[in-house]
């Protein structure tokens, strides 16, 4: 091979590698956009080109308890007690088509009964759902176009959907304040490669970044005065709290490999989050100031995405206790805040994740 041909081959290879690098450089949300690949199918389809061949058969189990690991590492389950007093509803992302790009939003009662699918568009992604403080509506994020996810609100009584945002960027993790007046959410900006915590009015008006606040996965304090969020502002990803006006920034956690999704207990005394390397994540519970952090979930379930029950006695989360290592194996579980009484609520051949518990 002569020198001229060799030189052109080197130039072509460098160009290809450079294009691949540029195409993969932007990642709009450092939390689930990047890290839930370990808990959802790795194959992605474009919402515009996805072809649905069949409608899956649903297989929703009756909630079973108590749960304890068997010798095989799976969960042993038995019928629930009538004194459980599980209240409220759980909204979550149901990957019924086994393709992340066409995720749907589903809801069920706190005991796992009454499952139903809320979103109906089979050709685009819906996820990051949360219930309103009065339990009458659901917020969620949905794909609109390249680099744009909008926030929508659906009223549960009639299924009416209202679009609250308009081309602000990649918007996820929306949650209504306890007084019902405002919404906080994550905004990924593809043009600047920034991920920030934003707030807006309940109807979508006056969207703005909390001053100088880079981070993601925000959740309100029970009194509505502060926001808990994840950020890598100091290096490793940790949780922080901040007043809604941007003052009073405070570092909360000191855990390795925090991903982001967290929640505040209804009495304001505790928070939950998840931490750990891929496929070895665990739920942690701690005092609201970050002290007395302790692992809540049994080791080995790759547990993540926790949310408190409305009475503060339980935590719902995603895990793989029964199907560890299976990309489609994530199910929704609940556990008491003292680490006892682990139960599985879903039992499907696809991934159920991002649960949020509400009224």
Specify the CATH number for the domain of residue 91.
Answer: 2.120.10.30
Q: Residues of the chain with pLDDT > 70: what percent?
A: 77
Q: Is residue 261 part of a domain?
A: yes
Q: Is residue 144 part of a domain?
A: yes
Q: Is residue 93 part of a domain?
A: yes
- Averaged over successive runs of 10 residues, the pLDDT of the chain (359 residues) comes to 45 36 31 36 31 26 34 43 79 97 98 97 97 98 97 98 98 98 96 95 97 94 98 94 96 94 97 96 97 97 98 98 94 97 96 98
In the β-sheet with 282-287, what is the strand arrangement from edge to edge?
Answer: 263-264, 270-275, 282-287, 294-295
d(CA 332, CA 347): 8
pLDDT tens per residue across span 232-245: 998 899 999 999 99
- b/e 197-221 (16+ beta carbons within 10 angstroms → b): bbbbeeebeebeebeebebbbbbbb
Half-sphere exposure of 310 (CA within 13 A, CB side): 17
Q: Is residue 41 part of a domain?
A: no
Neighbours of 71 (CB within 10 A): 6
pLDDT of residue 85: 81
pLDDT of residue 81: 53
d(CA 310, CA 338): 16
Give 238's contacts (C-beta < 8 A, 6+ positions apart): 230, 231, 232, 251, 252, 253, 254, 255, 258
pLDDT tens per residue across span 35-73: 333 333 333 233 332 222 222 222 323 333 333 443 334
The answer to whether 40 and 33 have CB atoms below 8 angstroms apart is: no
Q: Is residue 221 part of a domain?
A: yes
Q: Among 151, 174, 130, which Cα is nearest to 316's?
A: 130
Q: Is residue 80 part of a domain?
A: no
d(CA 84, CA 295): 23
Q: Among 276, 272, 231, which Cα is nearest to 249's?
A: 231
Range(s) of the domain holding residue 279? 86-345+348-352
Length of the chain: 359
Q: Is residue 26 part of a domain?
A: no
pLDDT of residue 7: 44
Task: Quote the number of domains for the chain.
Answer: 1
Q: How far is CA 314 from CA 82, 90, 304, in A?
A: 16, 12, 15
């Amino acid at each position: 091979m002569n020198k001229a041909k060799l030189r052109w081959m080197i130039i072509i290879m460098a160009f290809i590698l450079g294009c691949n690098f540029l195409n993969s450089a932007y990642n709009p949300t450092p939390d689930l956009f990047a890290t839930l690949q370990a808990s959802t199918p790795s194959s992605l389809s474009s919402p515009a080109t996805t072809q649905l061949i069949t409608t899956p058969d649903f297989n929703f189990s009756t909630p079973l308890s108590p749960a304890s690991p068997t010798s095989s590492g799976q969960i042993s389950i038995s019928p629930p007690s009538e004194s459980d007093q599980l209240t409220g509803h759980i909204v979550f992302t149901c990957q019924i088509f086994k393709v992340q790009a066409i995720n749907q939003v589903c809801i069920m009662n706190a005991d796992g009964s009454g499952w139903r699918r809320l979103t109906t568009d089979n050709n685009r992604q819906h996820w990051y759902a949360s219930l309103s403080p009065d339990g009458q509506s659901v917020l969620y994020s949905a794909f609109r176009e390249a680099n744009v996810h909008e926030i929508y609100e659906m009223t549960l009584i009639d299924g009416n959907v209202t679009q609250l945002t308009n081309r602000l960027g990649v918007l996820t993790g929306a949650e209504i304040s306890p007084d019902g007046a405002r919404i906080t959410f994550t905004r990924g900006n593809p043009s600047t490669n920034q991920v920030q915590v934003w707030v807006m009015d309940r109807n979508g008006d006056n969207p703005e970044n909390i001053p100088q606040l880079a981070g993601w996965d925000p959740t309100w304090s029970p009194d509505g005065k502060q926001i808990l969020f994840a950020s890598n502002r100091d290096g490793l990803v940790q949780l922080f709290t901040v007043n809604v006006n941007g003052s009073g920034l405070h570092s909360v956690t000191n855990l390795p490999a925090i991903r982001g999704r967290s929640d505040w207990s209804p009495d304001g005394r505790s928070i939950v989050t998840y931490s750990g390397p891929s496929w070895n994540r665990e739920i942690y519970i701690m005092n609201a100031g970050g002290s007395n952090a302790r692992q809540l979930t049994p080791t080995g379930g790759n547990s993540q995405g926790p949310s408190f029950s409305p009475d503060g006695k339980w935590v719902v989360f995603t895990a793989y206790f029964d199907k560890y290592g299976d990309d489609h194996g994530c199910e929704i579980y609940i556990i008491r805040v003292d680490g006892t009484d682990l139960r599985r609520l879903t039992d499907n051949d696809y991934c159920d994740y991002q649960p949020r518990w509400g009224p």
